[in-house]
Amino acid sequence: MDNIAYDRPASFDEALRLGARPGAAYIGGGTNLLDLMKGGVARPSLLVDVSRLPADGVSTLPDGGLRIGAGARNSAVANHPLVRERHPLLSRALLAGASPQLRNMATVGGNLMQRTRCPYFYDTGSGACNKRQPGSGCAALQGDNRGHAILGASSACIATNPSDMSVALAALRATVQVRGPRGERAIALADFHRLPGEQPERDTVLEPGELIVSVDLPPLGFARRCHYLKVRDRASFAFALVSVAAAIELRDGVVADAALALGGVAHKPWRLREAEQALIGRAPSDEAAGEAARRLLAGARGQGHNDFKIELARRAVVRALSLAATGSPSHPA
């Protein structure tokens, strides 16, 4: 058994000092990190418990946007009156994820940092995994890849990001606020997660020791016309084969602004401004939605078992945009 030290800092400055130590890992709810430790995938020598830091609330920004603390629990955010009123797309995406028990423990910062659910990554005895052991190969390329990436993958890794919350945040143009040894910086959610390239072991652009402090949402519209569609193998506690965060703002019957992102298809939430542009200036229609889907899925490629996900994603985009346009309520499904 490994020896693991534990510390609970009382301030962000103390947390950053501890997080800069070799082998340190930040822990909030622990819903993902503890699983990785149990399986021997993650082996930190110091756990820095950030769950008691003053970063668990939801507040209004001066421009009318929202700031969500990194330590806020997923359930609390999903059910917060300001989130439900101004950004129901985020609330619905959170409620589509995991189980109520896990949502009660999981934090916003931890949700952003969760690792892929590729079975070859989690099972240290199942085959090669460049994400777990760089340079060892990718067993999923020739193995079971039904749930794997159709966009943004590389010859080094074809895993997918499992977060529902991140898909909605990408569509809503959220910004991640972080602190680190070199100070503070803001990272657009769309740029926060990395594509695998030749370094699939790096899931995000965070530097060593950096800590997520909050997520900021701009004062967008979309509250009336949005939909989160999650296609999965079973009705609860399953990761998405494909998910879609879709929202539009109508003026005089035409789309004035649009938000669109795909989940379950890449290392990161998949959002292209060109796809959203296909909707703007046009009345909502399946034709416009189909063009947006075509642009969003340009270059998509299956790996054999997951070829079906390309057509599934196209249909899911059209369906989600249609439901968003009608203002139909979105329930996790």
Decide if 139 contacts 127 (C-beta within 8 A). Answer: yes
Q: Is the pLDDT of residue 53 over 90?
A: yes
Neighbours of 28 (CB within 10 A): 27
**Per-residue CA distances from 96 to 139, 218, 220 (Å):** 29, 22, 22
In this predicted model, what pLDDT tens digit does every residue of 294-317 receive, in sequence order? 999 999 999 999 999 999 999 999
CB atoms within 10 A of CB 208: 10
List beta partners, residue 245.
Answer: 228, 261
At 108-159, the pLDDT tens digits run 999 999 999 899 999 998 779 999 999 999 999 999 999 999 999 999 999 9
pLDDT of residue 42 exceeding 70: yes
Beta bridge partners of 147: none
**Count of other CB atoms within 10 angstroms of residue 89:** 28
- What is the mean pLDDT of the segment spanning 48-55? 96
Would residue 135 count as lying in a domain? no
Question: How far, rounded to the nearest angstrom, does the alpha carbon of residue 207 sit from its chain's CA centroid?
Answer: 18
Cα–Cα distance for residue pair 306/221, rounded to 1 Å: 35
- Per-residue tokens: 25: 């890992």
Average predicted confidence (pLDDT) for the chain? 95
Spatial separation of the C-alpha atoms in residues 232 and 29, rounded to whole Å: 25
Q: How many domains, in total, are found in the chain? A: 2
**Has residue 207 been placed in a domain?**
no
3-state secondary structure of 257: strand
Give per-residue pLDDT as tens, 246-302.
Answer: 999 999 999 999 999 999 999 999 999 999 999 999 999 999 999 999 999 999 999
Residue 268 Cα distances to 115, 167, 199, 262, 322, angstroms: 11, 8, 14, 9, 24
**pLDDT at res. 331:** 46
Is residue 294 situated within a structural domain? Answer: yes
Domain boundary among 31, 53, 75: 53
Does a structural domain hold residue 46?
yes
Looking at residue 17, which CATH number applies to its domain? 3.30.43.10
**CATH no. for residue 280?**
3.30.390.50
CA atoms within 13 A on the CB side of 10: 0
**Residues contacting residue 316 through CB under 8 Å, at least 6 positions apart:** 229, 231, 242, 243, 244
| Entry field: residues in the chain | 333
- Write down the pTM of the prediction: 0.96
By residue range, what is the domain housing residue 6? Answer: 1-53
Q: Tell whether 235 is covered by a domain.
A: yes
Q: Does residue 292 lie within any of the structural domains? A: yes
**Which tokens sit at 183?**
């100070």
| Residues 115, 43: Cα–Cα separation, whole Å | 14
> To 10 degrees, what angle do helices 286-296 and 308-326 make?
140
Whether 283 is covered by a domain: the verdict is yes
Contact 321, 249 (CB under 8 A): no
Residue of 132, 74, 123, 77 whose CA lies nearest to 99: 74
| pLDDT above 80 (res 186) | yes
Three-state DSSP state, 183? strand
Laid out side by side, the sheet with 46-49 consists of 5-7, 46-49, 24-27
Confidence of residue 332 (pLDDT cuts 50, 70, 90): very low
